[in-house]
Structure 1
């Protein structure tokens, strides 16, 4: 018997939110959602889902259809409504792209690029003051953190303090954050003539929270390794993982 991920309490909360998105409240809805969560946790091919959850193709079609409608992103957005943005930490992490993620039809850029680790994608993440995921973007692994940072910062408008490592030491990033009325805690590089006088090192030491957030996300194997051909579906998996971490809150 497969291990379930949802207690009765979590399922009742999740079901109430999902029904707000006009999902059909069919008898097998919970098993379908559990099947999707099982695949997220284990990373197995869809066709290898245990029969207990139902027909694998039906579960995949439900996931793909809900992904097209943006259901998983909406779920994440609903759960993070009261996110504490006093402090926001940002960072990026590589995700190895499995060979099964190659070959998407249509010739579109599906955010898989070459890096030192081979074919990879990158998750750029912003977390709130409690170490919970607030927003993320997906790029190819060849995209530098500094390049994507301005787009990520715009998604955390309303934050009071932005904290990042010295890899984000860029005047463009500082200007973007300050334009949104954020204080910036980013150490300057060794060759900087301005130095780090006045930097709040005590607050900077809390930057491990974003590393911890990545560690929690990557406990789910379909997040830690990208198996999905489409960026849309991989974003849905990451959104679902973030939502699952928010669900008990």
Structure 2
């Protein structure tokens, strides 16, 4: 089973901007939401288009539709529609992923052995 990630509220914001509505002229796609889920699956898994699960349809058909949407700048319109309410889950900064700058680590030269004021100690 393929895990889907779009909620109904997110889809309601995206749907008016999608190509393939019954009111659009020309040939329309079967299911815009399933197509967006396929694109999100590709983005989430970083898989090639050929590895798209069959539940989303033929990979080449999905890719051609993706290419048409890119040319029509649909993804920009969708992004603008859903960006008014950002999900801050991925914007959180954790100390385990932040590295200290090398100056803060004392990398340049490190600790130096300095001669003591007393010649007997040296």
TM-score by length of 1: 0.30
Structure 1 unaligned regions, length at least 5: 84-131, 134-208, 216-249
1:49–1:56 Cα contact (<8 Å) kept? yes
Count how many residue pairs are aligned between Structure 1 and Structure 2: 85
**Number of the residue aligned with 1:195:** none
Q: Among 3, 13, 20, which residue is 1:24 paired with? A: 20
1:14 Cα deviation after fit: 1.7
The 2-side partners of 1:46 and 1:15 are apart by: 23
The 2-side partners of 1:17 and 1:73 are apart by: 10
1:31–1:54 Cα contact (<8 Å) kept? no
Secondary structure of 1:60's aligned partner: helix
The 2-side partners of 1:61 and 1:214 are apart by: 35
The 2-side partners of 1:79 and 1:34 are apart by: 15
Change (3 A) 1:29 1:78: closer
2:14–2:82 Cα contact (<8 Å) kept? no
1:75 Cα deviation after fit: 1.8
1:33 Cα deviation after fit: 1.2
Q: Between Structure 1 and Structure 2, whose CA radius of gyration is higher?
A: 2
**Number of the residue aligned with 2:61:** 58
Summarize the alignment of residues 126-205 of structure 1 with structure 2, pairs less than 5 Å apart.
none
Q: Among 55, 75, 94, which residue is 2:78 paired with? A: 75
**Number of the residue aligned with 1:10:** 10
Q: Does 1:213 align with 2:98?
A: no
**Which structure shows the bigger proportion of residues in strand conformation?**
1
1:11 Cα deviation after fit: 1.9
- Cα RMSD, aligned residues only: 2.6
2:10–2:82 Cα contact (<8 Å) kept? no
The 2-side partners of 1:36 and 1:71 are apart by: 13
Runs of 4+ in structure 1 off by over 6 angstroms are none
2:49–2:63 Cα contact (<8 Å) kept? yes
1:214 Cα deviation after fit: 8.6
Cα displacement string for residues 171-202 of structure 1 (whole angstroms, at most 9, x for unaligned residues): xxxxxxxxxxxxxxxxxxxxxxxxxxxxxxxx
Change (3 A) 1:36 1:214: farther
The 2-side partners of 1:5 and 1:68 are apart by: 25
The 1-side partners of 2:14 and 2:42 are apart by: 18
1:68 Cα deviation after fit: 1.4
The 2-side partners of 1:13 and 1:27 are apart by: 19
